[in-house]
């Protein structure tokens, strides 16, 4: 049975602003690549944390049946939230230890539901540190954001001074 690994990343231009998420999903058998799939998407107005969460959610929701999978993220927010903090949030009715509402509760609930169908191992890697698969996930996230970024308008060049060109 192949080993599944999903490299996930989120990106945002402004925070909030247009954002994107990316997933590099790899099935391997030992050192042999079996299959690779790229996923990406984005939103017009979002935050980096929301896009990091969406990448992990989409990695899990894409799988048609339960599987053992390793999610590799460069987001301490996602890894810490899903492996540590979520248990207290759920126990406290989706409130933090300070009794404040959990930020991005909708996505945390969705991630919690998605991971319940799988045997998930979570790993953290340092972002932008030359990790090839993480860099590919980052590029997918930036590509997912592109349709939502405002188009840069080309300004007309001013006419040169000096009179008529006759």
**74: annotated active-site residue:** yes
**143: annotated active-site residue:** no
19, 43, 138, 144: the catalytic one is: 138
The CA distance from 6 to 137, in Å, is: 9
**10: annotated active-site residue:** yes
The CA distance from 38 to 142, in Å, is: 13
19, 41, 52, 81: the catalytic one is: 52
Tally of CB atoms within 10 A around 109 = 15
19, 41, 43, 74: the catalytic one is: 74
9, 19, 41, 81: the catalytic one is: 9
**52: annotated active-site residue:** yes
10, 22, 42, 81: the catalytic one is: 10
Which two three-digit tokens encode residue 31?
């050192």
Contact in structure between 73 and 123 (CB atoms under 8 Å) = yes
Give the distance, in angstroms, between the CA of residue 145 and the centroid of all CA atoms in the same chain: 11
Give the residue numbers annotated as catalytic, written as ranges: 9-10, 52, 74, 128, 138
């Amino acid at each position: 049975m192949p080993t599944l690994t999903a490299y996930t990343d989120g990106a945002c231009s402004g925070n909030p602003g247009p954002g994107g998420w990316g997933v590099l999903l790899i099935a391997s058998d030992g050192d042999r690549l079996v299959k690779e799939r790229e996923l990406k998407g984005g939103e017009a107005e979002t935050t980096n944390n929301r896009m990091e969460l969406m990448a992990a959610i989409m990695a899990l929701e894409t799988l048609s049946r339960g599987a053992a999978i390793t999610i590799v993220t460069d987001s301490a927010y996602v890894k810490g939230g899903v492996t540590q903090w979520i248990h207290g949030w759920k126990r406290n009715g989706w409130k933090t230890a300070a009794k404040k509402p959990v930020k991005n509760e909708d996505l945390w609930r969705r991630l919690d539901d998605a991971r319940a169908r799988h045997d998930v191992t979570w790993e953290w890697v340092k972002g932008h540190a030359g990790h090839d698969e993480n860099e590919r996930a980052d590029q997918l996230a930036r590509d997912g954001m592109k349709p939502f970024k405002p188009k840069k308008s080309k300004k007309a060049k001013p006419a040169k001074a000096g009179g008529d060109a006759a």
